[in-house]
Amino acid sequence: MSPVADFDFIIVGAGSAGCLLANRLSANPEHRVLVIEAGGKDDWFWIKVPVGYLYTIANPRTDWGFTTEADPGLAGRSILYARGRVIGGCSSINAMIHMRGQASDYELWAQATGDERWLWGGPDRPGETLDIYKQLENYFGGADEWHGADGEIRVERARVRWKILDAWQTAAAELGIEPKEEFNRGDNSGSAYFHVNQKRGRRWSMADAFLHPISHRPNLTVYTRTQALKLLMDEQVSEDHRRGAWTTARHRAAGVRLLKDGEIVEVHARREVILAAGAVGSPHLMQVSGLGPAGLLAQHGVPVVVDLPGVGENLQDHLQIRSVYRVKGARTVNTLYRNWITRAGMGLQYLLMRSGPLTMPPSTLGAFAKSDPGLSSPDMEWHVQPLSLPKFGEPLHPFGAITPSVCNLRPTSRGHVRMADANPLTHPKIMCNYLSTDADLEVAVRGLRMTRQIMAAPALARYQPEEMLPGPQLVSDDDLQAAARELGTTIFHPVGTCAMGAFDTRGLPRSPATVLDTDCRVYGVAGLRVVDASAMPTITSGNTNAPVMLIAERAARAILEQPQ
């Protein structure tokens, strides 16, 4: 094996964070930047059509196809754990919902890291988060106190509305969940149609935003269909690489071993290796490279480079509990798809006007509420879909129906991602441990009961909603807990497996769960960062793509501010 080339920065993963990092770091023509992507190009028709997620998720062309371990919290079920394996990563196959989260989410990040810059901020308040979001976004309505218009991330309103969802929104208001103009203003209480990452009816992935516009740069190289196998380490670290909390580092990330075009090759990094492979991929690559819990590494015969107990731990995810209600006299995707004339009409509407159901994200309407009035901010979210199906990947039901799914925004259950063996090509074991705490079970039951109350409100009476799942015969808390285990499934928001945390005056992490500092640097290893959803110490309130971009932008600035 010999090096293919030397670069200043090597980025593992061309997903959301990787695309932004490539953009920012290659802006300096003196930086040679390599991006490594295990998947292929994002030029497939179904990636660009918003409803194409039906064809990209669980498709080996675009999805890693991970599955979880059998989970007691899901009645022993194993479920699909989709992760993007294509240029653009999850932003090429996700729901496209643009959700910043709530101000309270970033208070938790500030507490975890000891860094007030994570706070939401605003006039006369500390924190950079709102300002960075505004700088990143290109909002369809133009710039104002809440939005930016000069950034790369296009944000538009949904291009299709549904009378049945309007009625659901009115029904929710009858229970105190008031309609609002939009989310993303710090407290998401209420209901609104989601904003989406689309541009004129087409998916606007983070590759569209950050990578494709700079593909011409001569100092940027992108390897597709290339698998990262192992991080390469130098044992001796020069004083130049020992800064701040990294004065104790005895190793430096020197490069990456790759499987490219059927051959094993090595690439070297003069300055940094940056992992942006996601909350599953990044900790797995670290573990097979000797960075992780010493006991786990020893179990699989991997020499311990640095004992990092938090690598792969602290996995958090949003579990959605899908209720299905049959409705009458309502236009839904089920009814439109069942009739070949209206099905063809949906296609023509999209081709001619870039509007209609084919522009629809998986969930169109959202609502946020508190499971307990004493909470300071909402801890439950509904994703309401004008369609229904038995489970993802199966055909739509042959009757008109809607699916109001409810999730706990702040789960207390914690899971993990752990190597299955020393082979980097073997998928890791993903154990989510959903509904493993009493608190999460209580919120699940409250969510199902509130869903029933909304569906029974007068505003929906004309559609004669009939509960199909979980079923009106299930009444007791025990019944509904069992239903939550049977019906619950991921919304594909895994985070936290290489969490940021605070350090003491000696440069040591305050918690054994801490893997990164506030600038996403890996403890004990110079020249290595993890910049993706792994870094979140706690999960945000809603879809996680926008918060990943916040992390990536802050990390890019920290890298560029360092002396060379």
User: Which residues participate in catalysis according to the annotation?
Assistant: 493
Q: 79 near 490, Cβ under 8 Å?
A: yes
Tokens of 558: 């920290």
Task: Please name which of 541, 544, 554 lies closest in space to residue 102, comparing C-alpha atoms.
Answer: 541
- With tokens 């991921």, the residue in question is 490
- The label of the residue with tokens 């009476």 reads 461
Rounded distance between C-alpha atoms, residue 398 and residue 332, angstroms: 11
Selection from 503, 510, 498 nearest residue 536 by Cα: 498
Residue with tokens 């008031």: 178
The β-bridge partners of 3 are: 266
- Are residues 435 and 147 in contact, defined by beta-carbon separation less than 8 angstroms? no
Query: What is each CA distance from 91 to 35, 62, 543, in whole angstroms?
Result: 16, 11, 11
Contact 518, 500 (CB under 8 A): yes
CA distance 139 to 135: 10
- Tokens representing 78 are 């194993």
What is the SS3 assignment for 121? Answer: coil
Place of tokens 């006991």: 295
The residues facing 516 across adjacent strands are: 500, 522
Q: Are 326 and 399 in contact (CB under 8 A)?
A: yes
CA distance 337 to 316: 35
Bridge-based pairing state of the strands 251-260 and 525-526: parallel
Q: Nearest Cα to 547, choosing from 375, 354, 316, 351?
A: 316
By three-state DSSP, how is residue 192 classified?
strand
Tokens (6 digits) for 7: 């670069």
- Give the helix/strand (H/E) hosting 167: helix 163-173
